[in-house]
Structure 1
């Protein structure tokens, strides 16, 4: 599925800038460098510890999805380690994402003897090895298909601008993509929003998107902390949506401004 994008992800940091390595240096979880992993894919089992939605959007080819948040995480990774007989290498989004380290530590607590981390993250991998990366279920092939940070920021509005654009829009579609637990039954837009949690098949969201496009209605999305929308953008671009906006910082920013955090 071609996205029709010629944008590079430019948010990568220098190769020697790994702020979490010192923090986790003493816990016995060694990092794996990009080219080391690339040359050892047959000898290591790669585990994506992020959410299923992030995994389905972009992941290392042949990586096994075992979200850190899953209830049976320990049992699953231990079973995988025994089945593969290989070291498990955990990854998440990038050098400031601690999910990979937390997953490796939890795996060791569950009995996995050889747990490592690829802390450069999925975007660094996709840039270096697009041929071994999957985007929206298809081979990435070229890093040009990644969405640049600047292209993401073009659709992000701070709280004041977000509300102002909604008020000035004709028949805006406001979508709260938080999970049921995150939303906790609270509408931040006086029940004018639709609650459509992200799912791997985007079935409900897809119908809403197609209707909004047909009626030329702008779409406004709110997540928990402003991170989920980064992955949602790939789906929106693939569908050809042009009028869409994200709330900077997500619902947490609204709660903060209300003095609730």
Structure 2
């Protein structure tokens, strides 16, 4: 009876920690320490965007974004090149579904020797900084992983962001890609810059903000891309920077609610 209760408690705890395992019961998973001990038996694949991968990834991992048009072809080639090895897909963390989706899609196309490492990159980097790469640096230096609390310190609600963006001297950047813009901007032409999410293309604005002591305000589509951009800004030593909480979508949602 006691063993049964302990098992049920353990199962409930795992479901709380990994809420998506119940959504993808057919997808095999691997735990952090199991993957670490058996890295030589796995081919690790990051299924996030290239920018996220370039910011922080598992050392030795390849990058095949889940939204790649040739995702299956790339995975099939990888599996053929590493017979006998298991492909381990990962993404950001326990609430991210991309690792499960990647494994399920691979199995759908009869690439069966796959697992989802669903703890994700942050758990990995904390547990094994020597096997992670942050902006080209490995091991990941202690204290360089940005907490949710530190991220939130640089978030402004849409109204506050817009007010600050209108201040004299503010440098405002729209980092959405062309598909996300849909002809909608926060400020009139000439008051903001459209810059792709590329550190080298962003560098001149960061350096300008530093040199001239001007605030840098950056917004994206839904408030997720800026989380990764923050690592570049912190590495550059910038302090006076701000993101729009929830991205332009939250701003538009507030506008719609005002007119109801």
> TM exceeds 0.5?
yes
Is 1:216 aligned to 2:213, yes or no?
Answer: yes
State how many pairs are aligned.
243
Q: Does the CA-based 8 Å contact 1:75-1:110 persist in structure 2?
A: no
Note the residue ranges of structure 1 that are not aligned, 5 or more in a row.
Answer: 1-12
Displacement of 1:189 after TM fit?
1.4
Please name the residue that 2:27 is paired with. Answer: 29
- 1:237-252 aligned at under 5 Å gives the runs 237-252=234-249
Task: Provide, for residues 115-161 of structure 1, a one-character-per-residue CA deviation record: whole Å limited to 9, x for no partner.
Answer: 21011110000110001000001103444221121111110111122
Output the CA distance in 1 between the equivalents of 2:72 and 2:140.
33
Task: Provide, for residues 16-73 of structure 1, a one-character-per-residue CA deviation record: whole Å limited to 9, x for no partner.
Answer: 6100001100xx3111000000001000011000000000000000011000011111
Q: Does the CA-based 8 Å contact 1:166-1:172 persist in structure 2?
A: yes
Q: Indicate the structure with greater helix content.
A: 2
Q: Does the CA-based 8 Å contact 2:125-2:140 persist in structure 1?
A: no
Is 1:232 aligned to 2:229, yes or no?
Answer: yes
**Relative contact order higher in (CA < 8 Å, ≥ 6 apart):** 1
Output the CA distance in 1 between the equivalents of 2:194 and 2:105.
33
Q: With the length of structure 2 as denominator, give the TM-score of the two structures.
A: 0.89
Output the CA distance in 2 between the equivalents of 1:185 and 1:70.
25
Displacement of 1:15 after TM fit?
9.3
Give the CA RMSD over aligned residues. Answer: 1.7
Task: Provide, for residues 209-236 of structure 1, a one-character-per-residue CA deviation record: whole Å limited to 9, x for no partner.
Answer: 1122211110101011111111000000
Please name the residue that 2:5 is paired with. Answer: none
Output the CA distance in 2 between the equivalents of 1:144 and 1:209.
22
- 1:23-172 aligned at under 5 Å gives the runs 23-25=23-25, 28-85=26-83, 86-167=85-166, 169-172=167-170
Classify the secondary structure of the residue corresponding to 1:163: helix
Output the CA distance in 2 between the equivalents of 1:177 and 1:134.
24
Q: With the length of structure 1 as denominator, give the TM-score of the two structures.
A: 0.88
Q: Which runs of 4+ in 1 moved over 4 A?
A: 13-16
Classify the secondary structure of the residue corresponding to 2:80: helix
Note the residue ranges of structure 2 that are not aligned, 5 or more in a row.
Answer: 1-12
Output the CA distance in 1 between the equivalents of 2:139 and 2:16.
26
Output the CA distance in 1 between the equivalents of 2:218 and 2:126.
27
Output the CA distance in 2 between the equivalents of 1:204 and 1:216.
20
- Computing the radius of gyration over CA atoms, which structure comes out larger, 1 or 2? 2
Classify the secondary structure of the residue corresponding to 1:116: strand
Output the CA distance in 2 between the equivalents of 1:14 and 1:31.
12
Q: Does the CA-based 8 Å contact 2:222-2:247 persist in structure 1?
A: yes
Task: Provide, for residues 180-221 of structure 1, a one-character-per-residue CA deviation record: whole Å limited to 9, x for no partner.
Answer: 11113332212221111113xx22211121122211110101
Please name the residue that 2:4 is paired with. Answer: none
Classify the secondary structure of the residue corresponding to 2:41: coil
Output the CA distance in 2 between the equivalents of 1:32 and 1:185.
43
Please name the residue that 1:4 is paired with. Answer: none
Output the CA distance in 1 between the equivalents of 2:141 and 2:208.
31
Moved more, 59-68 or 208-217: 208-217
Q: Does the CA-based 8 Å contact 2:15-2:21 persist in structure 1?
A: no
